[in-house]
Amino acid sequence: MGITQRKEREKEEMRQRILDAALHLFREKGYEGVSIRNIAEAIEYSPGTIYLYYKDKSEIFYALQYEAAALKRDHLLSAALLENPWERLQAIGRQYIDFGLKHPDLYDLLFIIRSPMESIENQDCWILGQATHAFFVETVQACIDHRYFKSTDADTIAFTLWCHAHGLVSMFVRERIRMYPEERREQLARDSFEMIIKMAATL
């Protein structure tokens, strides 16, 4: 009875081959810049074949988005190990920015790109994102409980810190930091992160 298993495996391999080619192309030309024919050509199949594995172009995007969300969750887990909530919070921030600068296309995929029919479609991805966000807010709450902050509004604190991190990464990802010379940007990001941490410590 190994045949159906092999078929299943081959199908999965094909799906992954499409995903790999798509990610590679999306990184180069962006979502709109890549056609189904491009992807088909990259894997040396005809355009129609793609539709046997993904029902349309956006489903390929969503599959990639889910992979990105899972990778991001894995990154986060390293920070989750720290017992002390204040150190954990700093680690989360560092990890968030690290992920964004290291995988700008995946970050774009997750947090910026206005994908086709920006809705609840890819629910798996959405649930993943919600869970990591909840973990973030809980850590802020833990900091409050342990008297690291005087302020007690966990939501606002979390949101404010997130604004900074998301803004920082976004500007890198969408290249809106042309006013700062190339060679200073990375240092600027580090300095700004340290600054927001110091600022947060006064909350």
Partner DNA sequence: AAATGTAATGAACAGTGTTTAATAACGCAA
Partner DNA sequence: TTGCGTTATTAAACACTGTTCATTACATTT
Residues that bind DNA (CB under 7 A): 3, 6-7, 11, 14, 34-38, 45-49, 51-52, 55-58
Question: Minimum distance from CB of 13 to DNA (Å)?
Answer: 10
Q: If contact means CB under 5 to 8 A according to the sort of partner, which of its own copies, DNA, none does residue 51 touch?
A: DNA
Q: If contact means CB under 5 to 8 A according to the sort of partner, which of DNA, its own copies, none does residue 46 touch?
A: DNA
Q: Which of residues 155-174 bind its own copies (CB under 8 A)?
A: 155-157, 159-160, 162-168, 170-171, 174
Of the two residues 108 and 136, which places its CB atom closer to DNA in the complex? 108
DSSP string, 1-49: -HHHHHHHHHHHHHHHHHHHHHHHHHHHHHHHH--HHHHHHHTTS-HHH
Rounded CA gap, 176 and 149, in Å? 33
111 interacts with its own copies by CB under 8 A: yes
Angle at 13 between CA 12 and CA 19, to 5 degrees: 90
96: left (phi over 0), alpha (psi -120 to 50) or beta: alpha
Of the two residues 43 and 203, which places its CB atom closer to its own copies in the complex? 203
